[in-house]
Structure 1
Amino acid sequence: MNFNKKLAVAVSSAVLLMAGQVALADSTTDIVDALVMKGVLTEEEGKLINKGHTSKTKAVPVVKEKDGAFILESANEANSIQLTGRMHLDFRASSLDNDDLGMARADDRDTASVADQFELRRARLGVKGKIAKDFKYEIVGNLPGTATLDVAYFDWAKYDAFQIRGGKFKQPFGLEELISSNNITMMERSYLDQTVPGKKIGLQVMGSPAKGLTYALSTFQHNDNERDLNGDGYLSGAGRLTFNFAESMGDKENVMHIGVAGLENNYSATATTSSQTDTSLSSTARATIQSFRSAGRGLNNIFRAQIHGESLGASSLASNLEFGAKVQQRAYGLEGIFARGPMKVMGEYSGGQYEASQTVSQMNFDTKTGYVEIGYFLTGEKYADSYKNGVFGGFKPKNNFDLDKGGLGAIELAFRAEGYRVDDTSYSGSASSRFQGTLSGPTGSGVTSKATTYTAGIRWLLNPNAIVKVNYAYTKLGNNYAPIDLEQSSGSANSADVGAESLFMTRLQYMF
């Protein structure tokens, strides 16, 4: 009997003689080894078959599945590509969406923020993977409205202690900002996150030179494309250093994390007209230096600092040169996490200074932002399981939600207290510069602004890919104010003084 016939007989015999044993084998190699052990094939014949099979598999890409995502990887594991995506569908109801308050104006975009509404908060698609083993990449696009680039970066990641990243990516400032929107506990980040640079184009060195220790240092530009020369004096920079005492001691059950960060951000602020679409009410061009929105994406511009800026339609060359303003932001940040089993306490504090100038005006003010967040998993998941390189990543329920098997998924209860304060305010030059919002006095120098928000939330992780969130946020403004933006000279006024806001929010979230 020749070899080919013998092989055919061997396969047939395997099915009959080994029944379920070989039927359960998960590879050609396993089957051949079983046939050799049964004496159906000789050892030499088995090696010959396995050699041919192995030579083919070395050239065939492998499809892997991880947490609902599929990865196409080369047989030598040096190259890979993975499709990624997320969708966050929100509903938001505000206590200020009430006609009796007299706030509704069709031509005012600030008060439109209090409308009860659905919002496709995020819809993104991207790819990520590795090239030649030591290089990693990720490209993600935003889909709603006009498609834009969310992140696009390339890493040299041969060593844990020293890596290089270039492209558009999150800058190393702000613990909460560096946690993916897929993995934050609450629906929205805190006031502190409204002062961080976020995703910018630049270059970064980073690494973890010892257990529990991470560092990152970057240089970046504020705008994807500089809109004028005001922001071009020199590049911006950010840095962050963290240490997890528990990890350094080999403790995998707890997280004891501290971190510090610094920021110097230089950028140009472009002048625009007021939020009123009726330009007969407001036509002065101003550049917004910094603004705050109430927590949970509630009421817009509860604080806004705006510096005088001539419009591009000005008649003189001198006026055209006054367009926009140069802004310098300096800030420091402190952060901490203590997590033990299913319980965590996480907090951040940041102090910042803003200096803005243009031809005829100058403006200065300080900001202080911070929060404390408490979380507890009723279903027993450990926060330490999702902590890596100084941030929290994705959580995996002990048991995925499954009605047939009685699985509940993971259920987390959370509470956050947060706030901001603006003080040491001053401006000089043009009288059209202004501070707006919940102020301690008139819009001139020396005013302060503040707000405090308390948020209670439930995060229900059905499985690693699907999450339901419910949040309730109550915001107490430091001082009452009328949100509608009208010029004082127009003679119009809004009698609706707002001192507090309540928001009820829900989210359906899917990611892979």
Structure 2
Amino acid sequence: MGATRLGAIAIGLAGALAASPAHSQSAGGGSDAEIALLKQQLKLLEQKLDKLQKQTNANTATAASANANAKAADAKAARVATANAAIPVKGPVAPSGVVVTLPNNRPTICTADEQNCVAITSRVHWDVGGYDYRPNTAGTVPQKLDSGENVRRARIGVVGKFFGDWNYSLIYDFGGSSDGFGGAAPGSLPGGGTSGIENAYLSYTGLKPFGGKMAIEGGIMDVLWTMDESTSSNDILFMERASAGIIAQNIAAGDFRSAVGTRWWNDQLWIGGYVTGPTTGQIHSASSVTPAGSSEQYGSVVRIAGNPINGKDYSVHIGADAEWLIQPPRNQLTQAQTLTLSDRPELRIDPTTLISTGAIANVSGAQVYGVEAAATYGPFIAQGEYYWFNIDRSANTGLPPFGAPSLKFDGGYAQVGYVLTGENHAYNSSTASYSGIKPRDPFSLASGGWGAWEIAGRVSQMNLNDQIAQATGIAGGRQTVYTAALNWYVNNNVRFMLDYLHGDISKQASAISSADVGSKFDAVALRTQVAF
């Protein structure tokens, strides 16, 4: 506004100056001093106008620069805000908040500090298969094995922890063919166990002595005794474990077993020991008339194992096991103390046992000693175990036979596997065994993945004959089974297993009768496995 007024004044003065000569002429030659004064004022006004114009231009440039800087600052702030919006910011979490995760697709709920968790776990093993069974003679029992299907395992339950160090598990098995004690339990099929509580235990892991980890646990559990049993049924190479290991652990270890004990481990060494009792499939009743119907059985097991040689692509595992049956099952009604060793032919489609000692009388105790070894090199794995059995028959029950000598049996297996797609079995130091395969490219039609493929082979042998040709001897039979397997790991939760078995059972009618009652068989079976 000031510059406009000065411009108007300057225009007015210029007009007045222009009119001055005419005015002086008409006035008869006015004063020259007055004209000079007006020119001087006009010049001063022009100088002020120039000065103000320069100041106005400078102010305009400064304002334009400030506006540009402001726009640049706004743009920079917008970019920073956008970048920060892409970065997740962890705000304060309420102590009562929970976090839901799906590790390996297992629904898991934990507190924000991950000290308290509960997870749902399940596994389903559905088997379909058939036998070509060939009894050697008409006196062989059985004369036929039934083909068909079997829900081998159908487990669901919860696992979790409290305050970081207290771990628990409660799992029920609805499947119809657990391994069972001595191959039979009340209410079960002739050669199998029964559905029931598979896990119900509490474990404390707060102690970490000697630079390792330690667990003190008790309840109903899978006792980690033998390498094959310490490997999860979700991870074993074949549909069933070898008979020698099953018969050994059924004496005082295995699944569904009541036990209390401890284990310690680090990356190279595992040591564990447990005191064990009866299984959940046994009837705790003084009026029971079956050998399994006694609640007084107890024993103990120890295992030492580890992988002293290991690297990125290789490992070597060795170990030793011992088991003692201190108080055999006792029938409270008859005072009989008996023990039966038996197993099905490494397949559970038909529950019939082909080798069995029958009920061994006057058992005062039993011992089993074993060795285990395994090795991996890239996708290759080899594993084997062997067991020696001793059954003492010196119990004074008043029932025959009296003073019979101890019985000795033995058996074992050797197996190899190779993952065609290159994955390997990782070592699990907490159980001193090898875990299953995690496919690098899970099966997917969209991405073109085909999962992981594995081939495997095993030969197993179990001898339940001793003191043949003596009245006090046992002719339980000798079983040899050859198994070939093709495993397809679709993803971390689904697996298909195709097994072919050829078995040869050499058996005579009794310890004092050499009549042949053996048999041979071939079998093909497919398992569909879902687990999380």
Corresponding position: 1:354 with 2:391:
yes
Q: Which amino acid aligns with 1:292?
A: D
Runs of 5+ consecutive residues of structure 2 not aligned to the other structure:
1-74, 177-193
Q: Which amino acid aligns with 2:116?
A: N
Distance in 2, matches of 1:155 and 1:83, equals 18
Residue of structure 2 in register with 1:244 after alignment: 307
Corresponding position: 1:185 with 2:233:
no
Distance in 2, matches of 1:468 and 1:112, equals 31
Q: 1:258 aligns with which of 311, 315, 318?
A: 318
The change in CA–CA distance for 1:365 and 1:463 in structure 2 (over 3 A counts) is same
Residue of structure 2 in register with 1:211 after alignment: 267
> How many angstroms does 1:292 deviate by?
3.0
TM-score scaled by length of structure 2: 0.69
Corresponding position: 1:202 with 2:262:
no
> How many angstroms does 1:441 deviate by?
6.3
The change in CA–CA distance for 1:307 and 1:417 in structure 2 (over 3 A counts) is closer
The change in CA–CA distance for 1:97 and 1:423 in structure 2 (over 3 A counts) is closer
Q: 1:72 aligns with which of 109, 112, 132?
A: 109
For the residue of structure 1 that corresponds to 2:228, the secondary structure is: helix
For the residue of structure 2 that corresponds to 1:162, the secondary structure is: strand
Residue of structure 1 in register with 2:29 after alignment: none
For the residue of structure 2 that corresponds to 1:460, the secondary structure is: strand
Describe the superposition over 1:276-308 as per-residue Cα deviations: whole angstroms up to 9, x where unpaired.
xxxxxxxxx996522232222365232332246
For the residue of structure 2 that corresponds to 1:395, the secondary structure is: coil
TM-score scaled by length of structure 1: 0.72
The change in CA–CA distance for 1:448 and 1:91 in structure 2 (over 3 A counts) is closer
Residue of structure 2 in register with 1:175 after alignment: 227
> How many angstroms does 1:410 deviate by?
0.9
How many aligned residue pairs are there?
411
Residue of structure 1 in register with 2:278 after alignment: 222
Distance in 2, matches of 1:148 and 1:244, equals 35
Q: Is the 8 A contact 1:294 1:475 kept in 2?
A: yes
The change in CA–CA distance for 1:481 and 1:117 in structure 2 (over 3 A counts) is farther
For the residue of structure 1 that corresponds to 2:385, the secondary structure is: strand
Q: 2:525 aligns with which of 491, 505, 508?
A: 505
- CA radius of gyration, larger in: 2
The change in CA–CA distance for 1:481 and 1:397 in structure 2 (over 3 A counts) is farther
Q: 1:91 aligns with which of 128, 132, 135?
A: 128
Corresponding position: 1:290 with 2:347:
no
> How many angstroms does 1:64 deviate by?
1.3
Distance in 2, matches of 1:242 and 1:347, equals 13
For the residue of structure 2 that corresponds to 1:195, the secondary structure is: helix
> How many angstroms does 1:404 deviate by?
2.1
Q: CA RMSD in A?
A: 3.5
Q: Is the 8 A contact 2:464 2:478 kept in 1?
A: yes
For the residue of structure 2 that corresponds to 1:67, the secondary structure is: helix
Report the structure, 1 or 2, having the larger strand content: 1
The change in CA–CA distance for 1:504 and 1:61 in structure 2 (over 3 A counts) is same
Q: Which amino acid aligns with 1:293?
A: R
Distance in 1, matches of 2:343 and 2:100, equals 46
Describe the superposition over 1:218-270 as per-residue Cα deviations: whole angstroms up to 9, x where unpaired.
111134465559967783110000121124xxx23222110001100245457
Corresponding position: 1:143 with 2:174:
yes
Q: Is the 8 A contact 1:63 1:73 kept in 2?
A: yes
Matches within 5 A, 1:38-437: 53-56=91-94, 58-96=95-133, 111=142, 114-144=145-175, 148-158=196-206, 159=208, 160-192=212-244, 193-196=246-249, 197-199=253-255, 200-208=257-265, 210-224=266-280, 226-228=284-286, 235-247=298-310, 251-269=311-329, 289-297=340-348, 299-307=352-360, 326=363, 328-356=365-393, 357=395, 358-362=397-401, 364-384=406-426, 389-425=431-467
Distance in 2, matches of 1:266 and 1:22, equals 68
The change in CA–CA distance for 1:479 and 1:268 in structure 2 (over 3 A counts) is closer
Distance in 1, matches of 2:509 and 2:441, equals 48
Distance in 2, matches of 1:368 and 1:147, equals 29
Residue of structure 1 in register with 2:45 after alignment: none
Residue of structure 2 in register with 1:462 after alignment: 490
Distance in 1, matches of 2:429 and 2:439, equals 15
